[in-house]
Amino acid sequence: MVTGNNEEHDGNGIHQTPLRIPELLYVSVKMENPILALAGNLFPHVFFSSAALLGDSCDCSKALSMERESASMWELSFVVPQNHEALDFKFLLKPKDDNSPCFVEEGPNRVIIGGALQGGARLASFKLDNDQAVEYKVFVQASRVSSFDLAASWRAYKENFHPSAVRGIPDVSISSELQTENETVSSVGLELDLEHYVVPAPSNSARVYAANLTENPRSRNSVSGSDSYSAGDDSFSFDQPETEMEINDLDPSKAYESPRMVKSQSVGTMSTLRKEDGQRGPFVDRGVGFPRFQKSSSLKAFTTVLSLDTDTENSFPAAAGAVAAGAIADQMLGPKEDKHLAIVMVSLPARGKTFTAAKLTRYLRWLGHNTKHFNVGKYRRLKHGASQSADFFRADNPEGIEARNEVAKLAFEDMITWMQEGGQVGIFDATNSSKQRRNMLMKLAEGRCKIIFLETICNDVDMIERNIRYKIQQSPDYAEVQDFEAGLRDFKTRVTNYEKVYETVEEGSYIKMIDMASGRGGQIQVNNISGYLPGRIVFFLMNTHLTPRPILLTRHGESQDNVRGRIGGDPALSEAGELYKQKLAKFVTKRLKSERAASIWTSTLQRTILTAGPIGGFPKIQWRALDEIDAGVCDGMTYEEIKKNMPEEYESRKKDKLRYRYPRGESYLDVIQRLEPVIIELERQRAPVVVVSHQAVLRALYAYFTDRPLKEIPHMEVPLHTIIEIELGVTGVQEKRYKLM
């Protein structure tokens, strides 16, 4: 703008008038609603009364659509002309279909004057057809920008921003409907019912009563009342001590087989350290073998002796990173008894005690800690028979009390013996509902292991009733009771007997879970808890619940590198992969059609993002933790090329795929370490989750849910174009597989 008052002279005496650059008002309006599904398929818009911006302010079809900034935030930015710095507007919710009605926010118009929102940023409230109220938070920001700066920044943005089909997608995004690339692809569907695509799972998936999967007594002498016992999936003889749980050898065809429960084995090994390059002290190895610690005669530092025997029992975890570091610190610096940890359950019957114990056992094993689950009820059935009435559990029955204390001592001594042979964490599963019983256990543990009491308290009457009915249906205690109602009455009498003498934990180190099972709140109380492993246990328990929900695991569609046999990389999909992503979208739409909410998780690599792309209606979240195992310098090579050019690496990987770490890359143990936050979040979620990831990552996740030994992870079958459905709930973990191509 030329002005006549600010004249200047140059050296030649010529009058010049400087230009004043006009500044424009740049406004950003945002709406936020963290409850993603609340407004369904309605999308936020803004319409103004200013004719300069929109013309007819009453025409909703001319409203400006807001862009999704994140999963819960919508944003609209605009430049206000100089002659319209005072303007009024309203928000509206509008479907994609222009012919459908839109919903205008309630209350007076909002007014912006000079970039300031008048009257404060009140909530944007909408009333939908079904009288449902929806509210959004509102944010308004304004700044003055010169027109030259604005134009320059826009030019730079257009010239330098080249988003690909994948990299332009934010870490969190939502697509509201099924996306298709063309009519040929969009016609691909699943013509048959989903059950037509079911294929056998590689593991036994029969539902089994959780207590039946716990440890067996070690010898005939510990249960002299009977030489053999058979109930449910158990069929035992006691000719030899048992030092390792071999659940996979049990006969799944026997009684108490109901749909889909996966069995387990425990494992206990350690990550690798070695001494190299003439330097002294422990060094982290590239992953092959694990050490026995010993004191060097010439050094004050600890050194290591390598052993490649992966079956050697060791009190250190088969783990990497923080898990190994924390365990080593606790074991080397803590008291002797702290090297072994006993989690002693405390609870009334039917409060989720055994389920919580089994879940914690599975988590600790997956992290690499040698963990076993000892159920006193199993010992009782073996010693005294399975058909004990409620009178056996009365507090005024001295014979019953003596018999129950006897089997508790047997189970605890078995656990201590196992710890002395190399076990690390024992889960001692019984009601342990009186101070007298707990004092007995603490005396047995003195100088031998550290005890942490884990008490589960549930006040949800409906949940307790469901648990009781499930127990009558599945527990060996009621296998011979033909009358369900009679069994129900007997068990409720048993619960009443326990309630009369129940004493909550107030002694020692303890964790109390109060009404945590529903996943809707509750509280957790912690007393005298310290150390890495107890801290991890508390964190895990804070995020667990019993809400049933499916988790769908699938690899990305076939990639171009899959076709070429190359590992790693970030390739696009092959033709078969393009076909699978459409079939997957149709499958997810059918499978989750009755679900109110769900989410889609992918890695940050384009083959998973492209595979999940057509899935509509659910938020998509990218996790770097879900990226494929890092092949380091071998990235992009075939295994034949590695064998030819790096024979030592090829042989090292062949010897121990679990611990082998690619040069400048990762091992399977490294992958497990970075997946722990994913596991915690999967446990915390109450809605279905679809995980689209990679073979090594899905092997590790699958091993967690099915409680498979770590050494099996690198060899598990996770084929392309197959969906593994894991159902989580009070009855345990069930598996189902669908082969779409």
User: Can you tell me the distance from the alpha carbon of 609 to that of 627, in angstroms, rounded to the nearest whole number?
Assistant: 11
The question of whether 628 is a catalytic residue gets the answer yes
Q: How many CB atoms lie within 10 A of CB 352?
A: 23
Please report which helix (H) or strand (E) contains residue 461, including its range.
helix 461-474
Torsion of CA 225, 231, 235, 240, to 10 degrees: -30
Distance of CA 360 to the CA centre of its chain: 14
Catalytic residue among 330, 373, 455, 458: 458
| DSSP code for 63 | P
Rg (CA), the chain: 32
Q: How far is CA 713 from CA 11, 167, 344, 430, 703, in A?
A: 82, 31, 29, 31, 6
User: Can you tell me the distance from the alpha carbon of 373 to that of 365, in angstroms, rounded to the nearest whole number?
Assistant: 11
Catalytic residue among 340, 373, 545, 556: 556
The question of whether 60 is a catalytic residue gets the answer no
User: Can you tell me the distance from the alpha carbon of 212 to that of 710, in angstroms, rounded to the nearest whole number?
Assistant: 22
Judge whether 297 and 670 are in contact, CB under 8 Å.
no
Q: In which residue are the tokens 């190895």 written?
A: 285
Retrieve residue 348's tokens: 């009334």
Distance of CA 573 to the CA centre of its chain: 27
Retrieve residue 437's tokens: 């019983």
Distance of CA 713 to the CA centre of its chain: 18
Which residues, in sequence order, are CB contacts of 670 under 8 Å at separation 6+? 320, 321, 629, 630, 661
| DSSP code for 625 | G
User: Can you tell me the distance from the alpha carbon of 75 to that of 638, in angstroms, rounded to the nearest whole number?
Assistant: 46
Q: Which residues pair with 303 in a beta bridge?
A: 294
Judge whether 664 and 633 are in contact, CB under 8 Å.
yes
Query: Nearest 5°: phi and psi at 306?
Result: -75, 145
Report helix, strand or coil for 505: coil
The per-residue DSSP string of 121-132 comes to ---EEEE-TTS-
The question of whether 556 is a catalytic residue gets the answer yes
- HSE-CB of 255 using CA atoms within 13 angstroms: 12
CA 635, 640, 642, 648 torsion-angle sign: positive
Report helix, strand or coil for 28: strand
CA 237, 240, 245, 246 torsion-angle sign: negative
Q: How many CB atoms lie within 10 A of CB 609?
A: 21
The per-residue DSSP string of 68-113 comes to E-SSSEEEEEEEEPGGG-EEEEEEEEEESSTTS--EEPSSSPEEEE
Report helix, strand or coil for 153: helix
- Residue type at position 603: S
Catalytic residue among 105, 233, 330, 429: 429
The question of whether 670 is a catalytic residue gets the answer no
Catalytic residue among 628, 630, 649, 707: 628
β pairing state of 23-32 and 73-80? antiparallel
User: Can you tell me the distance from the alpha carbon of 630 to that of 636, in angstroms, rounded to the nearest whole number?
Assistant: 11
Please report which helix (H) or strand (E) contains residue 382, including its range.
helix 376-384
User: Can you tell me the distance from the alpha carbon of 264 to that of 244, in angstroms, rounded to the nearest whole number?
Assistant: 11
Retrieve residue 605's tokens: 């690599």
Catalytic residue annotation: 429, 458, 556, 628
